[in-house]
Amino acid sequence: MQRYLTPQEQQQLLGAAAKSADIYDRRDHAWIRALLHSGLRIQEFSRITLGDAMAALREKYLFIPKENRKGKGQDHRVFVTAALRAALEDLAKIHFEIVGEEKSNLSHALVLSREHGGYGKPMSVRSYELRLKHWAKVAGLRADVSPHWLRHSRAMNIMRSSEAKDPRGITQAALGHTSIASTGVYTKATREEIEEALNQVDAPAGKRVTLSQLRKQFERRAS
């Protein structure tokens, strides 16, 4: 079963959240972008502090200590691309808007809750889940979307678009998988690829592709 968002669905989700000027809606738009461009698990992301984000903007890597990660396997460093930088900058600006620079503290959570004016109180994982479901509904997407889908979407985006010799290795590093076996799931044929292939098979004569050609397409995408 699909547990990721296609590029079109990602744009639908971001487009829905981008329409509001409300500060907490802008916050949601920014953290959704941050998750899509970092591939972090929501538990890891929810523990990022303002200080962590400021350090990442300086050093080009977002540091996630092993104690904040699932299983506590090892530290993880996320490369800050231009898209991730923009999302982190927006989150920092919104943080300052909510609490005021004079009351901000580097140890406070980067993404703040609406409760009590957000003074250093982080959003709970449950709040992330509910807010994402809200925006998924506004965007006309499936109701069972969860923050973890954004992690899978990051992996699928890399596998689709990377021109590296070893896109699976890039995905492993980007997501912080300790074993390449964990990344293997992203090399399987996607729902979109299966639908495209079946449509090609059932196409009118003259527009069909051979089974050998289809197999080669899938092999190229998985290599």
* Residue 95, both tokens: 């943080």
Predicted pLDDT of residue 147: 96
Q: What is the pLDDT of residue 193?
A: 56
103: phi then psi, degrees, rounded to nearest 5? -105, 0
CA count, 13 A, side-chain hemisphere, 219: 6
Answer yes or no: is 174 within a domain: no
- Residue 179 lies inside a defined structural domain of this protein: no
144 and 205 both lie in a single domain: no
Per residue in 91-103, pLDDT tens?
999 999 998 878 8
pLDDT at 126 over 80: yes
Do 141 and 198 lie in a common domain?
A: no
Distances (CA, A) of 149 to 132, 193, 205: 10, 19, 38
pLDDT score, position 135 = 98
In a domain, 176, yes or no: no
Q: What is the pLDDT of residue 182?
A: 52
Token pair recorded at residue 114? 């609406």
Q: Is the pLDDT of residue 64 over 60?
A: yes
Q: Are 153 and 136 in contact (CB under 8 A)?
A: no
Tell me what pLDDT residue 198 has: 53
CATH code for the domain of 59: 1.10.443.10
Q: Are residues 215 and 113 in the same domain?
A: no
Its domain, for residue 85, covers: 7-155
Q: What is the pTM of this model?
A: 0.79
Residue 46 has pLDDT above 90, yes or no: yes
User: Using CA atoms, how far apart are residues 92 and 86, in angstroms rounded to an integer?
Assistant: 10
Give a yes or no: residue 204 inside a domain: yes
Decide if 180 is inside a domain.
no
Residue 215 lies in a domain: yes
Examine the domain organization and report whether 111 and 18 are in the same domain: yes
Give the pLDDT of residue 30. 98
β-bridge partners, 122: 112
Place of tokens 């509904």: 137
Say what percent of the chain tops pLDDT 70: 75
Element (H, E) at 76: strand 76-79
- Given a cut of 80, is residue 118 above it in pLDDT? no
Give strand pairing partners of 49. 109
How far apart (Å, rounded) are the C-alpha atoms in residues 70 and 44? 8
pLDDT at position 52: 97
pLDDT at 173: 82
**pLDDT on residue 183:** 53
User: Is residue 128 classed as helix, strand or coil in its secondary structure?
Assistant: helix
Q: Does residue 77 lie within any of the structural domains?
A: yes
Segment 213-218 shows an average pLDDT of 57
- Tell me the mean pLDDT in the region 119-145: 93
| 138 and 207 belong to one structural domain | no
163 found inside a domain: no
pLDDT tens digits, one per residue of 156-212: 888 888 777 777 777 888 888 765 555 555 555 456 655 665 566 566 655 555 555
Helices 211-222, 191-201: crossing angle, 10 deg rounding: 160
Question: Which value, to the nearest 10 degrees, does the dihedral of the CA atoms of residues 41, 82, 104, 15 take?
Answer: -70
